[in-house]
Amino acid sequence: MNWLPYSVSSRLPRLSLVAYMVAFFVFLLGPIFIVVAISFTTTEFVAFPPKGFTWRWYERFFDYEPFVNSFIVSVELAVATALLGGFIGIPAALAVVRGRVPFADSIMTFLLSPLSMPLIVIGFSLLFFLSALGLGVSFLSLLIAHTVISVPYIVRTVAGVYRSISPDYEETAAVLGANRIQIFFYITLPMIKPGIFAGMLFAMLISIDNLPISFFFGSYETNTLPVVMLSYLEHQFDPSVAAASSIQLVVAVIGLFIVERIYGLDAMAPAT
């Protein structure tokens, strides 16, 4: 009766992998595919399968001012978030990995803690807090809020790359006469660049994608694309939202593609 445990042990994982793949295609890629398909329908309402083919809903997207404005806000916010997050996250990551910092592990856990907090809680409490500080609903508040949730991604990727680099390189440079600043710019920075780049791109994606936090800071000037899309959906159900989704999707896919090329997506997996 040898074959039974053998075949179970070899088939079960394979079966569950197949099941997972099927579920992945049906429930994730399927709807995405449907949304993209719908965005080209010639009907006035969301219809699947789409009828005919038209760019009309994309034109509508670019004609409808709130979509365009919020898209610009989203992109500006994403870039600003990545830059501010990098400014805060990179030195923090370097210090935690190699600075002689007491309790480095605890600090790291602390820096990563926003990852495990419900976004809606962060958004709600930040709204109160920033209002109390007099910032209220503004681009700056939005930027602070998005930076709070993006910094962990930057810290994580930068720290990951930095940790994998032997301190010997920096020490070698020191013996060769480089001071701390020279070591950072000539040795450390070039070597951790992939991590910085990937972390900042991820921060951008997180920011562009975010709804629960952006929602709290919404105003005419500070609405992000996801917020506008949601409120649009409350009143109308034409395929332009599908077009907006597809545009966002393209942005995200390009971003992920770049991250994959320079850094490898595997390394990001635990962060999500």
Partner 1 sequence: MGASSSVGASLELRLEGISKRFGQVVALDRSDLTVEPGLLLSLLGPSGCGKTTTLRIIAGFESPDTGRVVIGDRDVGQLPPNKRGLGMVFQNYSLFPHMTVGENIAFGLKMARVGPREVRSRVGEMLDLVHLPGFEERYPHQLSGGQQQRVALARSLVTRPAVLLLDEPLGALDKNLRENMQFELRRIQRTLGTTTILVTHDQEEALTLSDRVVVMNQGKILQVGSPNDVYEFPHTRFVSEFLGASNLFEGGLAHAGDGTFELAVTHGEDTTVLRVLHDDNVGTGEAMIAVRPEKISLSEEAPDRGNVVRGEVAGHVFRGSYHAYEIEVAGRDDPVFVYSQARSRSGEQVFQPGQAVHMSWDESDSVLLTDN
Residues near partner 1 (CB under 8 A) are: 166, 168-169, 171-179, 182, 186-187, 190-191
- What is the nearest approach in angstroms of partner 1 to the Cβ of residue 104? 17
Q: Considering beta carbons, is residue 105 or 168 the nearer one to partner 1? A: 168
**Minimum distance from residue 267 beta carbon to partner 1 (Å):** 18
Helices then strands, each counted (H, E), the chain: 13, 0
- Written as one letter, the residue type at 232 is Y
268 contacts 195 by C-beta, under 8 angstroms: no
Count of Cβ atoms closer than 10 Å to residue 203 Cβ: 28
For partner 1, give the closer residue by CB, 194 or 239: 194
Quote the least distance from Cβ 222 to partner 1, whole Å.
41
User: Considering beta carbons, is residue 83 or 191 the nearer one to partner 1?
Assistant: 191
Q: How far is the CB of 201 from partner 1 (least distance, A)?
A: 20
Q: Which residues have a Cβ under 8 Å from the Cβ of 158 and sit 6 or more positions away? A: 89, 90, 93, 94, 192, 195, 196, 199
Q: Pick between residue 183 and residue 229 the one whose CB is nearest to partner 1.
A: 183
HSE-CB for 17 with a 13 A CA cutoff: 5
Q: State in angstroms the smallest separation of the CB of 195 from partner 1.
A: 14
Show Cβ contacts of residue 197 under 8 Å, excluding neighbours closer than 6 positions.
Answer: 259, 262, 263
Considering beta carbons, is residue 168 or 266 the nearer one to partner 1? 168
Closest CB to partner 1 among residues 64, 186: 186
Q: Which of 206, 214, 201 is nearest to 73 (CA)?
A: 214
At 165, phi and psi to the nearest 5?
-100, 125
Q: What is the largest CA-CA distance in the chain?
A: 74
Q: Least separation, in Å, of the C-beta of 175 and partner 1?
A: 4
